[in-house]
Structure 1
Amino acid sequence: MAKSIFDQLSHAFEIPLSNPVLIFALILFIILLSPILLRRIKIPGIIGLILSGVAIGPHGLNLLEKSSAVDLFSTIGLLYIMFIAGLELDMNEFRKTRHKSLLFGFLTFAIPIGIGYPVCYYVLGYDMLASIMISSMFATHTLVAYPVVNSYGISKNEAVAITIGGTILTDTAVLIILAVIIGASQGQLDQQFWLTLGISFAIFLLIMFGIVPRVAKWFFQKVEGEKTAHYIFVLSVVFFAAFLAEIAGLEHIIGAFVAGLALNKLIPHSSALMNRIEFIGNAIFIPFFLISVGMIVDVSVLLNGPLALIIAGTLTVVAIFSKWVAAWFTQLLFGYSSSQRQVIFGLSSAHAAATLAVIMVGFRYEIIDENVLNGTIVLILVTCIVATLATEAASKKVVLAGDQDAMPSEKNIAREEQLVLPIANLNNMESLLDFATLIKSKHSPHPITVLTVVPNNEMAEQNLQRARKNLDSTAKYASGSETEVNMMATIDHNIASGISRAAREVMADGILLGWPSRPGIIEKMVGEKTESILNQTDTNLFMCHVDKPLVLQKRIVVCCPPLSESELGFDYCVEKIMRLSQELTIPIQFVCDVRTKQAVSLYIERNKNSTRVLFTDHNEWDDLATLRSAIKDNDLIVFISARQGEVSYRHSFDGIAKKLGKVYVQHSRILIFPSRRAGYSLDEYEDVSAAPILQRIGRGIGNMFTKDRR
């Protein structure tokens, strides 16, 4: 008996391993432990996984051998890397600095190829195709050091923006060159090849940018509640695009990259869907690919003679030097400081994802040899470390020069931001939470407070238990996007008073409410809940009616009545609108007068915002229907109103939610009431539910004797 158990164990652990369960368990342990252990000695996670693959591969301990399962996961990981590269590009930043980005992209693409090709061809002795492929690998860069500039608060510096924008050009150009090299390696580089490539590439782009986004919009709208289906749909698009690229005579990684660009506007960076895409990719598929790369590497080649070491050293030196030269020319052309040049060099000198993709394709087609593959691994290790150190040193210099994204006081406010989300109707919960996630400052460590207020009556305890169960479903939904939420259920005699008290307890910067429902007879007599909340709170208040996914909106139309820029919370509200625009990658159309336009323009200039902003002059604010000329279908309407008594308040704003809902019933809309000075209130008896009667009588008398201000 003992012998048979021993035989089973010895057979299961035969090297190389053949048991699929054991193989998968081993790879998962490597994915788990490798980054944790190597992080202590400052080795990037990408290198740790590659080195782990070297250790367990056929040229190491021979624990694993290349199999169809490993190849499948490796291919998925490679496509995933290129897809995320296209998906994460900030199109707003690119649009803002597109001319400089294109010029920098050309320099950081052409200079490395110009330096790399003669070195590879004449010094290292590779043939023309191999030399072009290796030198094109020098042209790529991965924004490994971007988290460094983000942590130092200089992510909106122009030097950072053009480097990010240049990534689009370099990656696209390198992938096109890759397709040409593959065609040449197979002896197909004739007139027929160029004609076929041109036509097939044009058809491919037409499908990806003309048809796929429309299908994706339709799918996200029709299958709104099925979050799992959204992820499966996106994954299907990636592999469909990869297959289409192969049919068109291109490489599948080009298809995955283009799929990322095509879906870029439809997947906000802070959305639950983006979180799922990154989570699954970073947890399983991409590590599998990196481990499989390591399994191909033969370290012993480096020890066979000086040639392998010379190739590795030459590749690394050329890669770093050529990127520095490109950054230096960029500094000369645009008049940047030396610290900005160093930021550009640091961000553009790291070689990782795209480099690996190009080299793996070249190795598969036997265009390059093992020496280049091994040398590329050394290059990735060295450039990632150099890029991180250079970017950190440069970021400190930029900060010392005072060229940060925002003033320290503004950054401190963002870090302390608190949002409160009162939930009355579970049907509105998901759209409100999605909206809160998109506008919440990324610097704030505080969770979103999800609040339920239960009336203080004989059923209070039962209602409180039921409310807490409802909050559990909210927490479950929030976990899908890794949105941290703080659940709060409280009892109060008056719903509005409970919300007001809870907002004061957490020192809320903003309260997000659903759109007010049609009031009943009693509510009309004693005042509506939303009106009571307005009267009893001083903070920024957002009323949201979002009846279709925000990613389907084409513009944000912001209606700013005269003097709205004078409200205390105006800047905060504009910042939230700007953040929403950046997440959705859509422009903003401000409908306002000249004075408000100047205030918004000054805010954009001060905060170096990359959002595309347009202005429309408007002077008739007492009839909301006059705004129709500025509003189109699929526009998200944002109306900045004011509480009664504030400087921009107009009598026509009385019942503004009902009026907007009636005129723009087909549109998603957000009504904003900017914050006011603490302690100011027209109603000294706010907790008495009958007080709004007196307010309504006062307002009616006031309307009889006061003309509306223009």
Structure 2
Amino acid sequence: MDKGFIEHIKHAFETPFTSSVLIFALILFIILLSPILLRKIRIPGIIGLILSGVLIGPHALNILERNSAVDLFSTIGLLYIMFIAGLELDLNEFRKTRHKSGTFGFYTFIIPALIGYPVCYYILGYDISASIMISSMFATHTLVSYPVVNSYGITKNEAVAITVGGTILTDTAVLIALAVIIGSSQGQLDQQFWLRLCLSFAVFLLIMFGVIPRIAKWFFQKVEGERTSHYIFVLFVVFFAAFLAEVCSLEPIIGAFMAGLALNKLIPHSSALMNRIEFIGNSLFIPFFLISVGMVVDINVVFNGPATLYVAGALTITALAGKYIAAWLTRVTFNYTNAQQQLIFGLSSAHAAATLAVIMVGYQYEIIDENVLNGTIVVILVTCVVATLVTEGASKKVVLAGSQDEIIEEPNQLADEHILIPIANLNNMEPLLDMATLIRNKKSPHQPTILSVVPNNEMAEANLKTARKNLDSIVKYASGSETEVNIMATIDYNIAGGISRASREILATCILIGWPSKASIIEKLVGEKTESILNLTDVSLFMCRLEKPFVSQKRIILLVPPMAEAEKGFHYWLNKVSRLTQELSLPLLCVCNSRSQSAIDQYLLKSKTSINFQFELYKEWDSLQGLSEYVKPDDFVVFVSARVGDVSYDHDFDGVPRRVGKVYENNNLMLVFPSRRKKSMIVDLTDIHQISYSPSRETVGYLGRKFGDILKKE
């Protein structure tokens, strides 16, 4: 073999690697392999990536060294961590428990800081700036063990809610304190510094929460079809906010965190955009940052003396003690149980993302030394393990005590939910699928089914091939939000009959359809398709007109007629409206009578939902026109109707899609027909075509009016 070629190969693999392609390939290999190997020995993925960075870093095997490319990706990952931390916080939950969250946030910030400062200053011997920075690191926490409480079904327990809410306050306070500490370390902590900090922070907040959300809302509305552009825009906002924070003498990570809070309400947690943000961040940017943190760690310091182990032990004990005392004080203040105290401690004791952010900034400014950096890695490892074990034990106690989230909905409709989406117009496909993604029960084993019914005529086979091709494009769109869908194409003499048959075949619990087009005179005479579908099915049916993007909505208006609470599907549609409200982070105004208000209020309180809801009493249900005074142009209108013969049915509901669609022509609309009890055997055996084409009450009224007009003209 040519010696030149061998030398070339040797040079290519000389350490540290210099080829950017090889460096990137190695990083990706570590990101791929590390979680797989460490999952078997129950080591958190975050620790595995950091340890991998230690191994390949310049202080160990020296395979990689920190260069401009590594620093760039590391910075992106750091900002991404803080951005997702702000984006994933449930602001509705925080608003609901804001007073208790504020108290816990104060405890979990001030107690660890007060304990940490004397430990760092008097025991470890650090100066004032380093002691304050390290003690502020103790105040941060990351909800590493939140998936545990989610798996046990206790996410709505008040102890969980205030811990999540307290995260907003303590992390924000730590990041602001960070700016002060850095200013102090540079000798700038004078009157001019405080004036500049307050003024710049005020301007920064004005831009982030006054200007950015308006621009983002406008962009998402105007560039609705360009899904890739949405993600690029979000990235731009994150890095612009980081740069703006830097200009305002704040740390860039503060800007990224505030960007997450600013865009929180505009990006639903189940949306395709949220999926892209989390997917790219968790698969590339954040792991890159964690590996780069490991590369900074110098394991040789450990062998030079016991200083690192001494610092690591002191930091770990102090971090856990501070969080435990804060949890105990919260229990005493609000009279919580011992299990709830353990739950709060378990959720708030893990130090990960924000802790790394603070320590890395301190290390870059040379406020803290390598001993603290290395000790922090130990803190992260120990606290993540302790947090997971404590949270799991506390969750079991909470469940055994009977404090699990109460399930008050029909188990057959929600636990085994199956949504059927008949598609007649491809233009309605994307918004309907987005709606199904927002409202569906994420724990249901059934994915939404997309249905296309082809008329049984001489072109049936050709039309069926076209329908299946169109359904394939829907599957491609659904994959953007990692939503799996089933597709189904069928031939039937009658469209409504085909939908009914498919609904029975898949045991659908809900049918989600687009808004009907204007009916022709023939359809009015023999019965419209929508009415035929209602006659042929018993499950909940949601009829949607979604012409405006969800981001343009400011409120959801729920119009509930009398006796709606007596229908079989009452809890089901109320659960769907609750999910929609929570996903879009919108307030809910319910217009109903006092009896319905009592039933809805009871449901919302028992479900422990975090949505902001209000009621308006309305008595003149004979006049649906009067409801329009409650509706504004930016409201999402949900109108609860009923099938003919149902308990809450009223003659004024005849032709309700046409009438409601006309009154609220500038609004997004969802018309709800609750599920009903099975029809009698006589009705079930009635010929399908007789039911489909039987003249409706609206048809009789329509003919009467036309006949009256003719007599008047004569």
Secondary structure of 1:561's counterpart equals: coil
Q: Is the 8 A contact 2:113 2:135 kept in 1?
A: yes
Show the counterpart of 1:664: 664
* Structure 2 CA distance for partners of 1:385 and 1:699, relative to 1, 3 Å: farther
Q: 1:269 to 1:144 in 2, by over 3 A?
A: same
Deviation at 1:522, TM superposition (A): 2.3
State how far apart, in whole Å, the 1-side matches of 2:146 and 2:230 are.
28
Report deviation, 1:83: 0.2
Return the offset for 1:692: 3.5
Distance 2:644 2:670 in 1: 19
- The answer to whether residue 145 in structure 2 is matched with residue 142 in structure 1 is no
Amino acid at match of 2:354: A
Cα 1:175/1:411, change in 2 over 3 Å: farther
Q: State the one-letter code of the partner of 2:250.
A: L
User: Normalized against structure 2, the TM-score is what?
Assistant: 0.97
Summarize the Cα distance change of 1:701–1:248 in structure 2 as closer, same or farther, 3 Å threshold: closer
SS in 2 for 1:542: strand
Secondary structure at the aligned position of 1:122 is classed as helix
Correspondences of 1:481-496 after superposition (within 5 Å): 481-496=481-496
| Of 432-441 and 411-420, the range deviating more from structure 2 | 411-420
Q: Which amino acid aligns with 2:73?
A: F
Q: Give SS of 1:693's match.
A: coil
Deviation (angstroms), 1:624? 2.4
User: What corresponds to 1:687 in structure 2?
Assistant: 688
Q: Which residue of 1 aligns with 2:709?
A: none
Q: How far 1:488 moved relative to its partner?
A: 0.8
Residues 260 and 691 of structure 1: CA distance in aligned 2, closer, same or farther (over 3 Å): closer
Aligned partner letter, 1:348:
S
Q: What's the counterpart of residue 303 of structure 2? A: 303
Equivalence map 1:26-175=2 (5 Å): 26-175=26-175
Deviations 1:348-374 (A, max 9, x none): 000000000000000000000000000
Alpha-carbon separation, structure 2, partners of 1:683 and 1:300: 80
Partners of 2:196 and 2:11 lie apart in 1 by 53
Aligned to 2:205: 205
TM-score scaled by structure 1?
0.97
User: Following superposition of structure 1 onto structure 2, how do residues 362-381 of structure 1 map, counting pairs within 5 Å?
Assistant: 362-381=362-381
Give 1:625's aligned residue.
625
Structure 1: which amino acid aligns with 2:29? Answer: F
Distance 1:622 1:646, change over 3 A: same
Name the counterpart of 1:293.
293
Q: How far apart are 1:514 and its partner, in Å?
A: 0.3
Which residue of structure 2 lines up, in the alignment, with residue 529 of structure 1?
529
SS at 1:343 equivalent: helix
Q: Could you say if the C-alpha distance between residues 12 and 660 of structure 1 is closer, same or farther in structure 2, counting changes exceeding 3 Å?
A: same
How far off its partner does 1:609 sit? Answer: 1.1
In the TM superposition, residue 504 of structure 1 has moved relative to its aligned partner by 1.1
Matching residue's letter, 1:490: T
Higher mean Cα deviation, 376-385 or 3-12?
3-12
Worse-matched range after superposition: 613-622 or 640-649 = 613-622
Aligned mates of 2:410, 2:676 — CA distance in 1? 18
- 1:690, distance to aligned residue in structure 2 (A): 7.0
For residue 263 of structure 1, what is the aligned residue in structure 2? Answer: 263
In 1, Cα distance between the equivalents of 2:31 and 2:538? Answer: 49
Q: Describe the superposition over 1:253-282 as per-residue Cα deviations: whole angstroms up to 9, x where unpaired.
A: 000000000000000000000000000001
- What is the aligned partner in structure 2 of residue 616 from structure 1? 616
In structure 2, the residue matched to 1:440 is 440
Q: Does structure 2 retain, via aligned residues, the 8 Å contact 1:213–1:262?
A: yes
User: What is the aligned partner in structure 2 of residue 539 from structure 1?
Assistant: 539
Residue in structure 2 matched with residue 12 of structure 1 by the alignment: 12
Alignment partner, residue 278 of structure 2: 278
Q: Does the alignment pair 1:403 with 2:420?
A: no
The 8 Å contact of residues 54 and 295 in structure 1, kept in 2 or not, is answered as yes
Q: 2:526 touches 2:695 (CA, 8 Å); kept in 1?
A: no
Look up the equivalent residue of 1:688 and give its one-letter code: H
Q: 1:144 aligns to what SS in structure 2?
A: coil
State the partner residue of 1:592.
592
Residues 551-570 of structure 1 mapped to structure 2, 5 A cutoff = 551-570=551-570
Shift of 1:683: 8.1
Inter-partner Cα distance in structure 1 for 2:496 and 2:237? 46
**Aligned-pair RMSD on alpha carbons?**
1.6
Q: In the TM superposition, what is the alpha-carbon distance from 1:407 to its structure 2 partner?
A: 3.1
- Stretches of structure 1 that go unaligned for 5 or more consecutive residues are 705-710
Percentage of matched positions with identical amino acids: 68
Aligned length: 704
Match of 1:467 in 2: 467
- In structure 2, C-alpha distance between the alignment counterparts of 1:266 and 1:583, rounded to whole Å: 10
Q: Distance in 1 between matches of 2:660 and 2:412?
A: 35
* Corresponding position: 1:418 with 2:391: no
- Give the C-alpha shift of residue 691 in structure 1: 4.8
**Counterpart Cα distance in 2 of 1:536 and 1:328:** 59
Q: Which residue of 2 aligns with 1:676?
A: 676
Contact 2:340 2:398 in 1 (8 A): yes
User: In the aligned structure 2, how far is the partner of 1:181 from the partner of 1:144?
Assistant: 27
Check the 8 A contact 1:346/1:390 in 2, yes or no.
yes
Residues 437 and 104 (structure 1), Cα distance of their counterparts in 2 relative to 1, 3 Å cut: same
Output the CA distance in 1 between the equivalents of 2:683 and 2:656.
Answer: 18
Are the counterparts in 2 of residues 535 and 686 from structure 1 also a CA contact under 8 Å? no
Q: Aligned letter for 1:12?
A: A
Relative to 1, partners in 2 of residues 1:113 and 1:691: Cα closer, same or farther, differing over 3 Å? closer
Q: Which amino acid aligns with 2:266?
A: L
- Secondary structure in 2 aligned to 1:622? coil
Distance of 1:634 and 1:686 partners within structure 2: 44
Q: Distance in 2 between matches of 1:306 and 1:551?
A: 56
Q: Secondary structure at the match of 2:168?
A: helix
Offset of residue 408 of structure 1: 8.2
**Any unmatched runs of 5+ in structure 2?**
706-714
Give the counterpart letter for 2:504 in structure 1. Answer: R
Q: Specify the SS of the correspondent of 1:677.
A: coil
Deviation at 1:217, TM superposition (A): 0.6
Q: CA deviation at 1:70?
A: 0.5
The alpha-carbon deviation at position 410 of structure 1 amounts to 5.0
Q: Report matched runs for 1:450-465 at 5 Å.
A: 450-465=450-465
Post-superposition Cα deviations, 1:508-536, rounded to whole Å, max 9, x if no partner, equal 11110001110123222221111111110
Query: In structure 2, do the counterparts of structure 1 residues 321 and 497 end up closer, same or farther at CA, with 3 Å as the change threshold?
Result: same
Judged with a 3 Å threshold, the aligned counterparts in structure 2 of structure 1 residues 301 and 517 are, in CA distance, closer, same or farther, namely: same
The farther-off stretch of 520-529 and 168-177 is 520-529
**1:516 aligned to 2:508?**
no
The alignment status of 1:235 with 2:239, answered yes or no, reads: no
